[in-house]
């Protein structure tokens, strides 16, 4: 081969490679905000896909009746213009006029009635049924006026209405295909909402594409969308996500491990931020000795564990600066999450003394169970070892562990809970301590106080009831509340993005710099 | 030959059934699938509804037999998560994995056969040592680490190749190298050993004595005989690659069958997991079966054993 033909061949190869590596649809030049997580999204419907990704997309593609201002906690009109309680089991809602769905149809009372009556029906198979099961039904009072009837008083209703009850067009699920078993496949219906972004297409395992809703109604507290397209991509491996972020294939990622986030921050090529989330970490004790390892029946032993674990060090060195140690069995940002409850400071010497008093001067050996962020549980194990308690780690998948927890087979389980980003104690404390299978204590006093907090309509009564329950839970150490989770986010320097404390990135407020 | 073929076929079917039964049981050993489907924030009631909705409240053996009966009729059911037919999902993604597997095995053969031949022609020479080094590195280096290294250099530093996706041929370069490299040592060592044996045989000496030129002796007479076991190995390795592409597809975000398998395990999508295991095991068994048949055809002694 001559030199000339060699050069020609090399040029052709270089051109071919250059063509092949043209960047993916992403970035300011494409007016496409590309973000990724490790999850595959196939069903684009917030009622039939309960992943965090659909929580995020739910707020992009759909609107709820109310909007909760994340800064002030205040509820503002969204699809509703006015709402008021009629007694303690009925909410009357005036609806906004002039709003259109992405398919061009007008929004009115029929849509709200249809949506609520569909999702609150158990047979509809909504995945997180607790999010909607508190609603009995909805009735039309006028073309833009409805009443929502509740099964029983539910003071957290507004928080749920603003966060997880998205409005679909009337008849939306009627076109659902029928599966082989004769049941309707509601999740297969094409996504249509009123939100700031309109669904374009989904390719399971690959991407979900949204485009700006040019007709999004003026006056929405969400504001007019700024970026043309939002593309969600599934990229399982964090190193790959980071590589794509650095090379322009992605504009936004989260859940970046602390060490990698710090290196990215030092590199300066992307913006890195650690932001708090609604998720909390806790350790639940087997207070009744059902697991066969009866150490934690003794309150002194539970106290010893509480004094032995250096929660402050875990938040500082492993979780991130936005994480805080929590004294109560809830997130400090949630309504009713009292903070003036018994607290257990880090004091290994006191822990040793308590163990001695409890009859374990040389410590003991037990099984600890966990499913998430192994390094956090390993830090706990290290702290316990310093006072003579040897914990054997059983690290497993969530589904396997929850099964064991329900069967009472875990002496200590180190778990987390995200509350579906609901800013109300009923979404966590009532879930875990109302006497169900998740309840490690089944304390009648706690159960009664929570029931009062869950049904009272006076906020002060609710707060007092929750405080009573939380004081008992922390005082008796049914749980050792650990810390709030914090996430590392990383995004392109071209992107103007603000993190929020509830783990729901509002991409509709993002814009290019 | 027919008797041998039927015997091997019977064994193959039994292996496929056993694999599917073991997989089905293992899925349940790893926890309640209804909990995984319901998600982390689900209540006890949510999970109970899901268990009933998908029929997980029935005895496991009944669920397995029900699935097997429908699978025999070509109905793998519906994916709980993807909300579409399992067969459709699998056959949509199978071509990507097949393409990746084909690229990887091609890369492995293109690299390993010439190196194996060269190593055999000049045993204990520099080229033989070089080939040995390649083999040792290939077997010692974890594929995920090799994949990330390729990504670092070719994707981030030099920006020559795209990091993720499967939309162009360039997307397959790094994954094919990462996947195929692991197979290279075995094929190369087998080629070398086969060539050494053949080159020392009487008919090669005769061919040389007849005055044939070195190249025809090497490729027409020696390699054609030495490569027979390599063909068998390559067929089996191709089956291994289809199943073993999980890591590579995950790292390079290739939307293939391996990635689907990994995702289905994570979310306990039982119908998809079962079908993938069955499809991959059938592929592997079919390739092994074909390899057995080829060997039996080429070497009649095998048929009578």
Which chain B residue is nearest to residue A236, measuring alpha carbons?
B250
| Token reading at A359 | 């009859």
- Lowest mean pLDDT segment, chosen from A142-146, A162-166, B243-247, B300-304: B300-304
* Residue in A38, A99, A158, A290 with CA at minimum distance from that of residue B251: A38
* B78 vs A68, residue with greater confidence: A68
pLDDT reported for residue A181:
63
**Which residues in chain A are closer than 8 Å to B171, comparing Cβ atoms?**
20
Buried b (16+ CB within 10 A) or exposed e, B274-302: bbbbbbbbbbbbebbbebbbebbeeeeee
pLDDT reported for residue A189:
93
* Residue in A58, A62, A53 with CA at minimum distance from that of residue A233: A53
**Which residues in chain A are closer than 8 Å to B41, comparing Cβ atoms?**
50, 128, 417-420
**What does pLDDT average to over chain B?**
85
Q: Distance (Å) from the C-alpha of residue A43 to the closest C-alpha of chain B?
A: 6
**Which residues in chain B are closer than 8 Å to A234, comparing Cβ atoms?**
253, 255
Q: Distance (Å) from the C-alpha of residue B277 to the closest C-alpha of chain A?
A: 19
pLDDT reported for residue A308:
98
A477 Cβ contact partners less than 8 Å away, ≥ 6 residues apart: A285, A299, A302, A303, A305, A306, A344
The pLDDT of residue A353 is above 50: yes
Rounded to an integer, what distance in angstroms lies between the CA atom of residue B108 and that of residue B117?
14
pLDDT reported for residue A59:
96
For range B255-259, the mean pLDDT: 88
The pLDDT of residue A14 is above 80: no
For range A369-391, the mean pLDDT: 95
With beta carbons less than 8 A apart as the criterion, state whether A189 and A172 touch: yes
pLDDT reported for residue A9:
47
What are the tens digits of pLDDT across the range A420-434?
888 899 999 999 999
Q: For domain B86-270, say whether CATH 3.40.190.10 is its number.
A: no
For range B173-178, the mean pLDDT: 94
B24 Cβ contact partners less than 8 Å away, ≥ 6 residues apart: B60, B63, B64, B67, B274
Q: Which of B83, B148, B169 has the most A C-beta neighbours within 10 Å, making it the best mutation to test the interface with A?
A: B83
Three-state secondary-structure class, residue B22? helix
Which chain B residue is nearest to residue A122, measuring alpha carbons?
B49
Q: How does residue A305 score in pLDDT terms, banded at 50, 70 and 90?
A: very high
Q: Does B48 touch chain A (CB under 8 A)?
A: no
DSSP character at residue B299 = -
The pLDDT of residue A253 is above 50: yes
- Percentage of chain B exceeding pLDDT 70: 95
Cβ contact B39–A51 (<8 Å): yes
Which chain A residue is nearest to residue B39, measuring alpha carbons?
A50
* B92 vs B29, residue with greater confidence: B92
- Lowest mean pLDDT segment, chosen from B117-121, B142-146, B263-267, B299-303: B299-303
Q: How does residue A10 score in pLDDT terms, banded at 50, 70 and 90?
A: very low
**What does pLDDT average to over chain A?**
91
CB contacts < 8 A, A to B, total 155
pTM comes to: 0.82
- Lowest mean pLDDT segment, chosen from A67-71, A177-181, A494-498: A177-181
pLDDT reported for residue B304:
60
Which chain B residue is nearest to residue A235, measuring alpha carbons?
B253
pLDDT reported for residue A367:
96
The phi and psi torsions of A213 (rounded to 5 degrees) equal -85, 100
For range A58-79, the mean pLDDT: 94
Q: Which of A253, A270, A401, A402 has the most B C-beta neighbours within 10 Å, making it the best mutation to test the interface with B?
A: A402
For range B5-19, the mean pLDDT: 84
Q: Does B157 touch chain A (CB under 8 A)?
A: no
Q: How does residue B148 score in pLDDT terms, banded at 50, 70 and 90?
A: very high
For range A500-513, the mean pLDDT: 93
| ipTM of the complex in this document | 0.77
The pLDDT of residue B63 is above 90: no
Domain coordinates in residue numbering, chain B:
86-270
Cβ contact A237–B250 (<8 Å): yes
Q: Which residue has the tokens 């030959």?
A: B1
pLDDT reported for residue B55:
79
pLDDT reported for residue A185:
86
| Token reading at B117 | 């031949």
With beta carbons less than 8 A apart as the criterion, state whether A229 and A32 touch: yes
With beta carbons less than 8 A apart as the criterion, state whether A104 and A137 touch: no
Q: How does residue B299 score in pLDDT terms, banded at 50, 70 and 90?
A: low
- Lowest mean pLDDT segment, chosen from A413-422, B49-58, B98-107: B49-58
What are the tens digits of pLDDT across the range A205-249?
899 999 999 999 999 999 999 999 999 999 989 999 999 999 999
**Which residues in chain A are closer than 8 Å to B268, comparing Cβ atoms?**
399
The pLDDT of residue A298 is above 70: yes
DSSP character at residue A508 = G
For range B1-20, the mean pLDDT: 82
Q: Distance (Å) from the C-alpha of residue B190 to the closest C-alpha of chain A?
A: 33
What are the tens digits of pLDDT across the range A113-137?
999 999 999 889 888 888 899 999 9
């Amino acid at each position: 081969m001559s030199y000339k033909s060699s050069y020609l061949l090399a040029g052709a190869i270089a051109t071919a490679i250059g063509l092949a590596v043209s960047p993916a649809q992403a970035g300011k030049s494409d007016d496409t905000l590309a973000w990724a997580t490790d999850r595959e999204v196939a069903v684009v419907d917030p009622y039939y896909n309960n992943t965090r990704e659909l929580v995020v997309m739910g707020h992009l593609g759909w609107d709820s009746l109310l909007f909760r201002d994340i800064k002030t906690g205040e509820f503002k009109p969204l699809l509703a213009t006015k709402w008021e309680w009629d007694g303690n089991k009925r909410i009357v809602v005036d609806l906004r006029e002039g709003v259109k769905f992405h398919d061009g149809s007008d929004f009115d009372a029929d849509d709200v009635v249809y949506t609520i009556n569909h999702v609150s029906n158990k047979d509809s198979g909504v995945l997180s049924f607790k999010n909607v099961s508190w609603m009995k039904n909805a009735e039309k009072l006028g073309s833009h006026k409805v009443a929502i009837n509740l099964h029983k008083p539910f003071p957290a209703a507004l928080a749920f209405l603003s966060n997880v009850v998205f409005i679909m067009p009337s008849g939306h699920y009627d076109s659902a295909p029928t599966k082989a078993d004769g049941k309707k496949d509601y999740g297969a219906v094409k996504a249509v909402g009123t939100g700031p972004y309109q669904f374009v297409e989904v390719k399971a395992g690959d991407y979900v594409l949204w485009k700006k809703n040019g007709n999004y109604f003026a006056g929405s507290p969400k504001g007019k969308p700024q970026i043309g397209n939002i593309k969600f991509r599934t990229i399982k491996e964090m190193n790959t996500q980071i590589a794509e972020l650095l090379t322009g294939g992605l504009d936004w990622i989260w859940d970046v491990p602390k060490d990698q986030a710090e290196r990215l921050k030092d590199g300066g090529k992307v913006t890195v931020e650690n932001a708090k989330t609604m998720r909390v970490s806790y350790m639940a004790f087997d207070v009744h000795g059902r697991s066969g390892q009866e150490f934690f029946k003794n309150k002194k032993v539970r106290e010893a564990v509480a004094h032995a674990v250096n929660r402050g060090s875990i938040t500082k060195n492993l979780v991130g600066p936005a994480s805080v140690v929590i004294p109560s069995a809830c997130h400090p940002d949630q309504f009713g999450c009292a903070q003036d409850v018994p607290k257990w400071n880090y004091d290994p010497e006191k822990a040793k003394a308590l163990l001695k008093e409890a009859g374990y001067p040389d410590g003991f050996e037990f099984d600890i169970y966990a499913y998430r962020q192994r390094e956090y549980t390993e830090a706990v194990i290290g702290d316990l070892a310093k006072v003579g308690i040897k914990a054997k780690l059983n690290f497993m998948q969530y589904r396997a562990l929850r099964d064991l927890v329900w069967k009472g087979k875990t002496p200590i389980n180190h778990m987390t809970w995200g509350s579906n980003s609901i800013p109300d104690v009923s979404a966590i404390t009532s879930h875990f301590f109302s006497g169900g299978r998740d309840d490690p204590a089944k304390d009648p006093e706690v159960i009664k106080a929570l029931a009062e907090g869950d049904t009272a309509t006076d906020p002060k009564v609710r707060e007092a009831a929750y405080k009573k329950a939380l004081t008992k839970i922390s005082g008796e150490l049914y749980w050792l509340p650990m810390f709030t989770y914090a996430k590392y986010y990383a995004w392109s320097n071209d992107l103007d993005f603000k993190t929020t404390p509830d783990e729901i990135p509002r991409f509709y407020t993002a814009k290019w710099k | 030959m027919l008797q041998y073929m039927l015997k091997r076929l019977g064994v193959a079917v039994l292996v496929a059934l056993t694999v599917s039964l073991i997989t089905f049981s293992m899925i349940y050993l790893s926890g309640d699938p209804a909990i995984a489907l319901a998600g982390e924030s689900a209540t006890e009631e949510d999970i109970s509804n899901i268990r009933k909705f998908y029929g997980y409240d029935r005895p496991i053996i009944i669920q397995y037999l029900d699935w097997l009966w429908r699978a025999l009729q070509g109905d793998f059911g519906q994916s709980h998560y993807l909300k579409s037919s399992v067969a459709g999902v699998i056959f949509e993604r199978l071509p990507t994995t097949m393409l990746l597997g084909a690229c990887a095995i091609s890369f492995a053969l293109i690299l390993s056969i010439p190196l194996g031949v060269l190593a055999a022609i000049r045993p204990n020479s520099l080229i033989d040592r070089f080939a040995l080094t390649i083999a040792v590195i290939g077997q010692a280096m974890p594929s995920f680490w090799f994949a990330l290294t390729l990504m670092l250099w070719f994707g981030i530093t030099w920006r020559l190749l795209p990091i993720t996706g499967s939309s162009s041929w360039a997307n397959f370069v790094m994954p094919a190298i990462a996947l195929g490299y692991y197979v290279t040592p075995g094929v190369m060592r087998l080629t070398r050993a086969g060539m050494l044996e053949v080159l020392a045989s009487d008919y090669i000496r005769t061919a040389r004595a007849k005055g044939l030129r070195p190249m025809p002796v090497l490729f027409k007479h020696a390699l054609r005989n030495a490569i027979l076991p390599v063909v068998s190995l390559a067929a089996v390795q191709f089956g291994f690659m289809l199943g073993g592409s999980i890591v590579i597809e995950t790292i390079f975000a290739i939307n293939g069958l391996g990635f689907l398998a990994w995702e289905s395990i994570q979310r306990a999508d039982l119908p998809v997991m079962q079908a993938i295991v069955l499809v991959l095991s059938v592929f592997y068994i079919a390739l092994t079966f074909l390899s057995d048949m080829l060997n039996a055809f080429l070497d009649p002694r095998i048929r009578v054993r």
